[in-house]
Amino acid sequence: MTTATLDLMAVTAAAAQAAKATAAATDAERAGWLTAVADALDANASELIAIADEETSLGEARLAGEVARTSGQLRLFAKVITEGSYLEAIIDHADPSATPPKPDLRRILLPIGPVAVFSASNFPFAFSVVGGDTASALAVGCPVIVKAHSGHLLLSERTAEIVAEALAAAGAPEGIFALVSGRAAGTALVQDPVIKAVGFTGSIPGGRALFDLATSRPDPIPFYGELGSLNPVVITTKAIAARGAELAAGLAASFTLGAGQFCTKPGLVFIPAGTDFAAQLAEAGKDSAAATMLTARIAEAYPEGLRNVAAQPGVRIVSGSADQDALRNGAAPVVFSTTAANVLDRPEELLEECFGPTTLLIEYSSAEELSQALAKVPGSLTATLHSQPGEDVADLVGQLTGLAGRVLFAGWPTGVAVNWAQQHGGPYPATTSLFTSVGATAVRRFQRPVAFQDAPESVLHPALREDNPLEIPRRVDGVLELPRSSVHVSPVAGVGLPEDPALRLT
């Protein structure tokens, strides 16, 4: 047994011990831990941004926004757990007169246990050491062990120091958070029996290998992986006629944002045949500059991906060049074009993600051909539709909904709001599960349901006690109950929730 293995065992043993305390902590205590970490990130933002820019070349403006997003989502999860509905508390009282008699049943979601989180390369804060996976797991009472990304190792180590200090100062238990590095440590982490779930953002090959490890364990565990996404866009004939130049400008800005390294980059754009949209897009992006990519490995892979697309029969280059040295000169934008008929003939070759500032225009000749081509598109995080008012797009919306976890009708998919309604996940390979990795319901990945039957009140979680001491939303005997303090007041009408026989206030 190597020293590294012994060190990892010590880390996971500490996490297992901490899990008892984190599960027993109140929501208010855990919210305090999250807020303390958010405050520490903001207080050390300048130092962290400088380290991140040195390692990733993302630029201070982009990184400053990402730090703010990261601290903001920590504060969001603090609100989520103190609001209380995340527990999904349900009470069904006993009914001896029923046939057969019904016992008293009380159900709640509890923390699953220590969680492993794998940092992403393209978001060194928001999907890294203390990003959404870590924040949502800590929020519900799960200790977290983060596997640092090699692309920003110094940043990961410094961020981890700040997080650990903030948690300790806020009174969090020892062992609640740790950082490990190296591929071997990551593999061992997934296989460690202490770990009860994994959060991952990265490539399809890497994620799939870890997913297979997680599910082949003697005790298989959930693997919440975000792997790859083409994020298809559909533009109708009427939309191009009405605002083609505007759409071209928006697309150019979106697929080149961050050197095309966003997981929500629009990689496929379905347009009607016979329009001048390709020329409009070339004009809109003519001044887009080459940009440094996150790592040497990514920069070397980008031109290879471009050449693979360019080599396919029936593909032409609209703008840019597939012959480039992204490692030396930066990644330059490239727009390709082909037909839906060609996609139907070569789906495996053409419907493959190319990580970087490139997109593929796909011309369709009919609604039927569009539908057939969309049916070949793998699961994605997003799908976007640009149409005009009055167009009948119901069938198209239904098909796009089946493809993605978020469907947009205005704007572009790059940029993911962190709020209660967000869904950042989709059918495989976008994610390996249906749950989101961004937004309030991200916490659901790290909880498991437990029902207590005929339990004495003294052993029940406060959320399941008869008098509802936490004053949280609960479902009691099939009726949703809201404490009066949580009644939503409309900012327009100035009135409370409408009367509903299935909802009552306590």
Are residues 244 and 365 located together in one domain of the fold?
A: yes
The two most distant CA atoms of the chain are separated, in Å, by: 78
**429 preceded by a cis bond (ω within 30 of 0):** yes
The single residue of 55, 66, 142, 263 carrying the catalytic annotation is 263
Is 49 inside any structural domain? yes
Q: Which of 226, 353, 363, 369 is catalytic?
A: 226
State the pLDDT at residue 494: 37
- The answer to whether the beta carbons of residues 88 and 442 sit under 8 Å apart is no
Are 346 and 439 part of one and the same domain? no
Does residue 419 belong to any structural domain of this protein? no
Cβ 243 vs Cβ 296: under 8 Å: no
User: How many domains is the chain built from?
Assistant: 2
Residue 232: which of 409, 384, 386, 397 has the closest Cα? Answer: 384
Structure tokens at 274: 């016979």
Is residue 15 classed as helix, strand or coil in its secondary structure?
helix
CATH number of residue 267's parent domain? 3.40.309.10
In CATH, what number is assigned to the domain containing residue 47? 3.40.605.10
Q: pLDDT value at position 492?
A: 41
Amino acid at 316: R
Question: 247 and 184, same structural domain?
Answer: no
Pairing of strands 223-226, 233-235: unpaired
Residue 9 shares a structural domain with residue 145: yes
221 & 262 share domain: no
In angstroms, the first-to-last Cα distance of the chain is 57
Residues 164 and 129 in one domain: yes
494 lies in a domain? Answer: no
pTM of the model: 0.91
- The pair phi, psi for residue 419, each rounded to 5°, is -155, -170
Q: Is residue 237 part of a domain?
A: yes
Cβ(433)–Cβ(224) below 8 Å: yes
Asked whether residue 415 is domain-assigned, the answer is no
Per-residue pLDDT of the chain (506 residues; tens, 9 = 90+): 444 555 899 999 999 999 999 999 999 999 999 999 999 999 999 999 999 999 998 999 999 999 999 999 999 999 999 999 999 999 999 999 999 999 999 999 999 999 999 999 999 999 999 999 999 999 999 999 999 999 999 999 999 999 999 999 999 999 999 999 999 999 999 999 999 999 999 999 999 999 999 999 999 999 999 999 999 999 999 999 999 999 999 999 999 999 999 999 999 999 999 999 999 999 999 999 999 999 999 999 999 999 999 999 999 999 999 999 999 999 999 999 999 999 999 999 999 999 999 999 999 999 999 999 999 999 999 999 999 999 999 999 999 999 999 999 999 999 899 999 999 999 999 999 888 889 999 999 999 999 999 999 999 999 999 999 999 999 999 999 998 665 444 444 333 333 343 434 33
Residue 480 lies in a domain: no
Assess whether 142 carries a catalytic annotation.
no
| Cα angle: 251, vertex 252, 254; to 5 degrees | 60
Is 263 one of the catalytic residues? yes
Cα 32 from chain centroid (whole Å): 24
Residue 248 belongs to what H/E stretch? helix 237-256
In a domain, 477, yes or no: no
Contact 108, 64 (CB under 8 A): no
Q: Pairing state of beta strands 447-453 and 105-111? A: antiparallel
Identify the bridge partners of residue 447 per DSSP, sorted by sequence position: 111
Nearest CA to 163 out of 145, 182, 190 is that of: 145
Own/partner contacts of 478-485, CB < 8 Å, gap of 24 or more, are 478/92, 478/502, 479/503, 479/504, 480/504, 481/505, 481/506, 482/506
Give residue 370's domain range: 233-408
Q: Is residue 403 part of a domain?
A: yes
HSE-CB at 420 with a 13 A cutoff on CA atoms is 7
DSSP state of 291: B
